[in-house]
Each structure stands twice: as C-alpha cells, then as structure tokens.
Structure 1
Amino acid sequence: MAEGGEPGPPAPADRYTVISADCHAGADLLDYRPYLERAHHEAFDAWAATYVNPYEDLLADSADRNWNSDRRLAELEADGIVAEVVFPNTIPPFFPSAALMAPAPTREEFAQRWAGLRAHNRWLADFCAAAPGRRAGVAQILLNDVEEAVREVHWAKAAGLTGGILLPGTPPGSGLPELHSRTYDPLWAACAELDIPVNHHAGSASPPLGDEPSARAVFMVETTWFSHRALWHLIFGGAFHRHPGLRLVLTEQGSGWIPGVLDMLDYYHGRLVAASTRATATAEAKFGVGLADSMGPPPSETWHTNCSVGASFMRPHEVPLRHRIGLDKIMWGSDYPHDEGTYPYTREGLRAAFAGVAREEVAAMVGGNAARIYGFDLALLNSIAAKAGPTVTEIAHPLEEPPEDATSPVFAKGASLRVW
C-alpha cells in the first residue's frame, strides 16, 4: 500500500522493494548540542567532557554510518535496501549508557534526560528529512511523566517522524508502573488517535544483571523474554480493547516464538474467563474476575488486529511459521549498522531465509508490510528498487554456503534446515 493506505504502483516485475524495518542511527556526541535548549548547554559541555563511550562500534572508523547520510544511503542501496525504519543507536545527552533504557532518575536528571531525548528526536527529524520518503524515524520518550510523553508524541507526528515512538521497558527495579497499568492510557490514546506505531525493541526491558560472564549469559537467555512481556501486558491490561486503533510492533525479538506464546496466552485467557463465569468459587475464578470485560477478545485475535513483528534478519527456521504468525504481520529488518545485521550480505541473508517462498509472500515480508505500517510511499520506493532491489530470481536461488566473514545470526549454524 502507498502512503495513506491507497494502492501503490506495482513493484518492478523482476525485483523486490526492500524496506528494512530495523535500522539504527544517531548523532555524533557533540552534534547533539545545537539541538539542546540553550539552558542545558553548560551542563552538556560538562557531561560530554567526561563521558566515556562504552560501545566499540561507536568508536570504530565505521561509527559515522550512524549519522553520515550519504554513506548510509549508498551502503543500504548497494545492499539492496531502498528505505529504513530508524531506531536510535548513539547515546543521547545526559544518559549514562544505553538510550533504550527507561530510567527513574532524580528530578534534575530526569529533566536533563528528557532534554537529551528531545535533542535526539529533533536531530532525527532533520536526518530523515535529508532523505525524503526513505526513512521512518522512531522518536524516543520516557514513561516517568506520561503527559510529557504525550506532548512528545504530538510533536513527533507533526515533525514527520513516521516511525512512531519507541516504548521503553519497565524492568524490575525501574520504579515505573508496569505496562499493563492504566497509567499509560493517555499515551495509548494519543498513539491511536494519531495513527502512529508503538515500537518495543529488544534489549530495552531487561533489568541490570552485572558484567560477570554468568550475568552476560543470563542476559542473553532472558532479554527477549523481558521484551516479549510488553505483548501480554498490553493485551491483558486491555490497552487494545480501550484503544482499538493502537498498534504495537515488537522488533528484533525473533518471530518463531509468536505462535507458541499466542497459544499460551489464549490458554490462560480461556481458563480464567471460563472459570470466572462458573458459580464455583475456585482460585482461578477469583483471578479471572472482570478479565473478559476489561481486555476484550482472546490474545490471538488481538495479535492479528493490532500487532506486528519487526523480524530482524529473519532466520530460515522462522519462515515456515509465517502463516501462523500472520503473513501480513511480518516485517523483515537488516539491523544496519550493527554487527549482527545482514550488511553487506543482505542478498545472501534473504536467499538463506526466503528461497523457495512464493514471490508475493516475500514481497510482503521484505517491504510491503512495512510500507503499510509505517506509511512509506511505494511509488517512490518502487522506482528506486527498479535499479537497486535484489532480483526475484536471485532470492529464489538457495544459499549453499554463507559468506566466510558474515556475522549475522541468519547465517548461524542451527538457523537453517540446511547443513552448512
């Protein structure tokens, strides 16, 4: 679909129009300063003078992929990608580490961090404007002040950040109400009214575990689970029932887990709702009181009406589940410029995942669904894809062996039914 939901022109007959639903960008540290309110300049100078960046990829020669618009367009286009959904990557002003956290700082720190996120959002609006129609920027918010978050949502919509907002996690110890709380209803209402997606990205909801090898291993085991929690919190919390236009996108969390989790959520929904209608005062009946009225339809139905998945570097073992997940729910992503992303081997990654899949199904997953969800204009993108997009014949050819220096999990052993 083209922008506004109208049918766009057909994609090139021999090529795919590829939109990455998961890319990352951000300004170089000092380049955020002009986007800060003047009152924060002195504090920013002091913070920036002592800040030590903990991320190797933001110190490497390739770090400018985050903010060098011309380099980014050239590399993505060479990789077969014509448009991108842009999540944050670099550290915004006044944050101690990751931009994806939802901190509960002091009043002064809270004001500074909001200023830092607003600076990032305003930089992002300019960055997206530098490539009209090819970037859907995702604005950052904090949940500590819902009214402030709603104001930023309205600003983001007016500024043309068509990627919507990034929903922070509420990990244990954050001091924030859980996502199922009605505290956030004004935020859900604003997003539904403005028709902008609520994106929840992996890694943003895990509690701090430490730096020991065991902690890192536990983080890897648990991080996607903590990110998945947003789905059942919003469903059981009734957010979609009260705000039918609300749209949730779960990004870089895999997709193979979705059918099983939906089965599990339907199971608990059925047990609790059924028990609450019986005359017998069982423990489950007490748990289910009011649930049917407050949350509406079963979880699987809500998934298919309100939710989508940003299936970053979709792996071959996930693809056979596409109809159970919902073919119209899946949006492939490259995760550029991260090491786990498919660049510069996106074509090989698409071959590994989608060889043997019907052309119209591949077209939906690698671009059509993202165009619909994020409002990309396919008239524009199809014309670029006619020269830069991977060919249908190319992607249909199975990948026999992954590139030797490829780092994306799509090429990992166990990610494919094929033995590499």
Structure 2
Amino acid sequence: MNDDRYTVISADCHAGADLLDYRPYLEKRYLDDFDMWAATYVNPYEDLLADSADRNWNSARRLAELEEDGIVAEVIFPNTIPPFFPSGSLMAPAPTPGEFERRWAGLRAHNRWLADFCAAAPGRRAGVFQILLNDVEQAVQEIRWAAGAGLKGGLMLPGTPPGSGLPELHARVYDPIWAVCAELGVLVNHHAGSASPPLGDEPAARAVFMVETTWFSHRALWHLVFGGAFRRHPDLRLVLTEQGSGWIPGVLAMLDYYHGRLLAAAKATTAEAKFGVGLAESMGESPSAVWRENCFVGASFMRPHEVPLRDRIGLDKIMWGSDYPHDEGTYPYTREGLRFAFAGVPRGELAAMLGGNAARVYGFDLDLLDPIAAKVGPTVAEIAEPLPEPPADATSPVFARGASVRVW
C-alpha cells in the first residue's frame, strides 16, 4: 500500500482466447478436427458474442480498463469456450473416450494460451489453469507443466455434481493431485458454478439454482476436510472463489460440530458409532483449524453485510475480487463498490483484503505493483467516504437492494 492509495489486486477475474485463436495452441494432430468443430460451433453465451467480448483476450484494453477502475493486478479464471467443448468446460462431461481425449487437448490449448497472456503483462496476472478429473495421471502431468510455465494462479478444481459419474472429491483416488499441488505449492481454486447439477429449463430452475449453486460449491471444503486431504498433505491450500463469504463462520461451526460428534460416536456404543469408525485418524484437525491453516476465500464483489464478519472469517483469508469482465462484476464502478461495502473499515485491514492477502497467497510482487497503484489506485480518503447512492446503471449485486441481509 502507498501512503495515500490502496494497491488493489482482483482475486477474481476471467479471460480466455477468441475461439479461433486457440488453434495455434493445439497439437497438430487435432487441427483438422478443430477446423470441422469450429466451422459449425454456435456460442451459447451472449456476453461472448457482444462487442465487449474482446475484454477476455485484448491485453491492452484489459490493462487500461482495470487501471481505470483502480486495479493493478488480477487472478484470471477461465471464461471463453476451449476447443471441443459445447459450453463451460468443467461442466460438460465427455460422452466418448475420443471426445474426452479432444477435450483434454482443448484444455491444454487454453492453458498454453493463458501462459502467454499472463506473460504479456509480467507480474500483473496470475493465471488459473484447467484440468479434468477423469484421468488423474493426465491431471498431474498438466499440473507439473503449468507450475513450470509460471501459471501462479493454481488450478481450477472441477466440481463433481450428481450425475457426473466422477468419484466425490473426498475420494482417495484424487490423492496424487493433492500431493503434487502440495509439493509444488500450487493453489487449488474452487470457483462457483462448476459443481451444480443440471436443473432443467423450467422457470423455477433459476430460483433453485440461486438457492443451491453456492452450496454445491461449498461442498469442496467439507469433502476435502472430512476426506483427510489436508491431514495427508498439510501444505495443500484451497481457495473458494465467488461463493460469498458471509456463510463461512456458520458453516465452520456446523462442520466443527459434526467433526466432534463423529469422533465421539466412534468411541460410543450408540447407533451413530458406525459413522465415526476410522474418522479420528483420517480427518485430522477440526474444520475450523484446517480453515485457519490451509484455506482462503476469493470474496468477489464483497457485500456490506459480509464486511462485519471479517474477523470471524479471518482478516488474513479474505481476497476481494471484481469479477471483471462479467456483468455482475464491479467494473466500471469498482471505486463506488468499495465505498459502498468498506467505508469505515480501518486502513490496514482494508489494505490486506484489497491486495495484501492476494499478493501473499498468489505470489504477486508488491514492489512492482505499488508504483502502479500510486498512479491509478483508489485513494484512502476516497474509499473512506460512504456512498450515499449506488450508480443508476450499476449491475453488480454488491449494490442490490436487499442483498445485505443474508448472515448465515
């Protein structure tokens, strides 16, 4: 942080190549297949067809707009469609072995494009690479490649929604993934949206999705905790992004309760005893202890009701994100969003949540970023001033009326 400005690092942004720009990153044996696939592909996402779609891959435009918004560095999650996928890559199981092979090729192309995209802005982008869980050996190989390629954002952990056919995340089959991530210091990121099962096309499905989608994303936390991943791999680190943050204290209390209850049941003669067998050795520390040692939250467009919970969540755990370039993101009103949520928060605490924590977790160099922030970052005085009224055309939920009442 500078004397009068915050160094803001967004822990949640999104990017990807334009469809045909993935072609040079594919292995030659897939080029003919790609040409046939791309010739008939219809993109299902309006935001990737709009005039603003190039925010995903136009490096110069992206840097300029983020700086205009007061942001000097970003963690980059995927956004566009990799080759051979019908839609969001981690939510689309391959129907045949051949299709699975091509989709792995598509993800590798995305990851290699991303490495070049990050290299185009040295020290200002931490790219989050993609894997599939269907082949653990291939996943481990890709993790080693990505770590060597300088993708500091870590991996994006796919969900295992009901119906996916994948083992649940607590399964020991994924241990080689946790082991290599712990060995190489690769972060495991679990972003909202990749863990929900299909809900159909009925109008009510949208409401059900809103109720359930973050819960399905939260599941990664208790799966890895109760599965003992952190006990077996104490250097493993998990980041839960764009899932809110206000839920964390209550869920940790609930998980601690079940942790204690299961350990007690293992020593009892009640009907619950069968649920506790073997858990004392496999689970390790309590969930709240694991959170303190191993976990972080990418607190995208943090809402006013979440801010008073920061001490219970952990001030050193919270990493604010703008969600650029999504409509629900704070661009171009990041300064207003920060004022709306954070006015009155002590300067040192806010500096940690807006950039210091992300710099430490994702390996950004503040000596590089602070001089840029001295020119473009929001001022301390500016963010300390409460925002009387949200901008009329702001689309981020941080400004939504009634969005600040959820406290569980």
The answer to whether TM tops 0.5 is yes
For residues 10 and 255 of structure 2, the distance between their equivalents in structure 1, rounded to whole angstroms, comes to 29
Provide the residue aligned with 1:22 in structure 2: 12
Q: Does 1:341 align with 2:290?
A: no
The letter of the residue matching 1:50 is: T
Secondary structure at the aligned position of 1:21 is classed as strand
For residues 129 and 179 of structure 2, the distance between their equivalents in structure 1, rounded to whole angstroms, comes to 17
What's the CA shift for 1:285?
1.5
Choose which of 349, 370, 391 in structure 2 pairs with 1:403. 391
Residue deviations 1:15-43, cap 9 Å, x none? 00000000000000000000000100011
What's the CA shift for 1:148?
0.3
For residues 33 and 201 of structure 2, the distance between their equivalents in structure 1, rounded to whole angstroms, comes to 29
Residue deviations 1:28-74, cap 9 Å, x none? 00000000001000110111111111100000000000000000000
Tell me which moved more, 356-365 or 99-108. Answer: 99-108
Q: Does 1:38 align with 2:28?
A: yes
Percent identity between the aligned chains?
82
For residues 102 and 153 of structure 1, the distance between their equivalents in structure 2, rounded to whole angstroms, comes to 21
5 Å-filtered alignment, 1:347-386, equals 347-386=335-374
For residues 207 and 403 of structure 2, the distance between their equivalents in structure 1, rounded to whole angstroms, comes to 19
Provide the residue aligned with 1:218 in structure 2: 208
5 Å-filtered alignment, 1:54-93, equals 54-93=44-83
Secondary structure at the aligned position of 2:179 is classed as helix
Provide the residue aligned with 1:6 in structure 2: none
Residue deviations 1:276-314, cap 9 Å, x none? 123xx2122110111111010100100110000000000
Provide the residue aligned with 1:106 in structure 2: 96
Contact 1:201 1:227 in 2 (8 A): yes
Contact 2:322 2:330 in 1 (8 A): yes
For residues 119 and 242 of structure 1, the distance between their equivalents in structure 2, rounded to whole angstroms, comes to 32
The letter of the residue matching 1:414 is: G
The letter of the residue matching 1:345 is: Y
Residue deviations 1:102-161, cap 9 Å, x none? 624311000000000000000000000000000000000000000100000000000000
For residues 205 and 357 of structure 2, the distance between their equivalents in structure 1, rounded to whole angstroms, comes to 37
5 Å-filtered alignment, 1:264-279, equals 264-278=254-268
The letter of the residue matching 2:106 is: G
Secondary structure at the aligned position of 1:22 is classed as strand
The letter of the residue matching 1:289 is: V
Contact 2:90 2:132 in 1 (8 A): no
For residues 271 and 291 of structure 2, the distance between their equivalents in structure 1, rounded to whole angstroms, comes to 28
Residue deviations 1:351-377, cap 9 Å, x none? 111100000000000100000110000
Q: Does 1:168 align with 2:170?
A: no
For residues 91 and 102 of structure 1, the distance between their equivalents in structure 2, rounded to whole angstroms, comes to 11
The letter of the residue matching 1:295 is: M
Provide the residue aligned with 1:186 in structure 2: 176
For residues 295 and 404 of structure 2, the distance between their equivalents in structure 1, rounded to whole angstroms, comes to 26
The letter of the residue matching 2:293 is: T
Count of matched residue pairs: 405
For residues 95 and 356 of structure 2, the distance between their equivalents in structure 1, rounded to whole angstroms, comes to 41
Contact 1:371 1:378 in 2 (8 A): yes
Q: Does 1:233 align with 2:245?
A: no
**Taking structure 1 as the reference length, what is the TM-score of the superposition?**
0.95
Secondary structure at the aligned position of 2:297 is classed as strand
**Taking structure 2 as the reference length, what is the TM-score of the superposition?**
0.98
Q: Which runs of 5+ in 2 are unaligned?
A: none
Task: Evaluate the alpha carbon distance shift between residue 207 and residue 416 of structure 1 in structure 2; reply closer, same or farther with a 3 A threshold.
Answer: closer
Q: Which runs of 5+ in 1 are unaligned?
A: 1-10
For residues 271 and 313 of structure 2, the distance between their equivalents in structure 1, rounded to whole angstroms, comes to 32
What's the CA shift for 1:221?
1.2
Contact 2:85 2:92 in 1 (8 A): no
For residues 28 and 386 of structure 2, the distance between their equivalents in structure 1, rounded to whole angstroms, comes to 55
Secondary structure at the aligned position of 1:138 is classed as strand
CA RMSD of superposed structures (Å): 0.9
